[in-house]
């Protein structure tokens, strides 16, 4: 992968530099639609980006719009933000001293492109991969959070981590957690969970905390529906209890129920 095929002969036109160098260029080589050699498990894993510098090349070469006409080099895409800019993007490339422009030695420092039109200002930083590109954030854990308006205390955040699963929580303790095949949604008051909905592959539970000693619960586990609370009200036109009682309604006769509960 680290070869000079298709490049200008470095030993003749581009002798190695003994000093560090920063140069401007554009992504891609003129007449070549392929702009990158992706690092894979079959090679050393380094991704090499094709860049044509503005300096160098043959006298009299006039670049076309969106291209450069100088030295053609391969630079190694630098992490942890691994990015392959679109062809024609102007980039700033750094070359270490003593190596010159050996393939893979230089690294792109960044792209020189138009700033975003929306959601960007002197007080708003924006990461924009463009409408035709995907953005992936990956690590052992990933957290998106914001500053508390007061500068202290809890903060709103979204987190993906090995221990916490997927969490989205507000500063006042309301949120949702996805972990261990369980989805839990809760609403809190002063840090105390009041309403909780828990869903697993085998059961669903809805809990409403009335007080420190009293909780109303609706549970569906396999073929059992359980309701625990002080009062149960069924305000319906028809009420059927049990399979036999439900048959007339199911058959379409729409027989109304007589008193089921009385007070």
Residues 173 and 220 in one domain: yes
pLDDT digit string, tens, across residues 48-81: 999 999 988 777 778 888 899 999 999 999 989 9
Q: Where are the alpha helices (DSSP H) in the chain?
A: 10-13, 243-250
Q: Is residue 124 part of a domain?
A: no
Convert 152-177 to b/e letters by CB count within 10 Å (16 or more is b).
Answer: eeeebeebbeeeebebbbeeebbbeb
Domain that holds residue 19: 1-113
Residues 227 and 237 in one domain: no
CB 2, CB 103: distance < 8 Å: yes
pLDDT digit string, tens, across residues 7-25: 434 444 455 556 888 999 9
Query: What is the C-alpha separation between 172 and 226, in angstroms, rounded?
Result: 31
Q: Would the CA dihedral through 173, 176, 181, 182 be positive or negative?
A: positive
Q: How far apart are the first and last CA of the chain?
A: 85
Residues 105 and 32 in one domain: yes
Q: Is residue 10 part of a domain?
A: yes
What CATH number did the domain enclosing 71 receive?
2.40.50
Residues 249 and 170 in one domain: no
pLDDT digit string, tens, across residues 232-248: 887 777 777 776 665 65
């Amino acid at each position: 992968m680290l070869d000079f095929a298709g490049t200008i002969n470095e030993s003749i036109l581009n002798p190695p530099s003994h000093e560090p160098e920063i140069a401007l260029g554009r992504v891609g080589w003129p007449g070549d639609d392929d702009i990158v050699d992706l690092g894979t498990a079959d090679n050393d894993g380094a991704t090499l980006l094709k860049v044509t510098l503005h300096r160098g090349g043959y006298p009299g070469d006039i670049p076309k719009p969106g291209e450069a006409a100088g030295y053609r080099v391969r630079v190694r895409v630098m992490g942890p933000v691994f990015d392959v800019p679109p062809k024609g993007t102007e980039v700033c490339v750094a070359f270490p001293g003593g190596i010159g422009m050996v393939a893979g030695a230089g690294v792109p420092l960044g792209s020189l492109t138009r700033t975003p039109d929306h959601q960007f200002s002197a007080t708003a930083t924006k990461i924009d991969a463009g409408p035709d590109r995907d953005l992936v954030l990956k690590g052992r854990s990933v957290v998106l959070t914001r500053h508390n308006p007061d500068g202290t205390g809890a903060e709103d955040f979204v987190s993906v981590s090995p221990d916490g699963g997927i969490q989205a929580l507000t500063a006042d303790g309301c949120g949702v957690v996805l972990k261990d095949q369980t989805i839990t949604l809760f609403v809190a008051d002063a840090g105390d969970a009041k309403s909780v909905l828990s869903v697993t592959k085998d059961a669903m539970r809805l809990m409403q905390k009335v007080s420190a000693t009293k909780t109303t619960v609706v549970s569906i586990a396999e073929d059992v529906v359980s309701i625990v609370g002080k009062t149960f009200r069924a305000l319906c036109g028809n009420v059927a209890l049990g399979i036999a009682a439900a048959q007339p309604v199911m058959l379409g006769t729409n027989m109304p129920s007589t008193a089921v509960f009385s007070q």
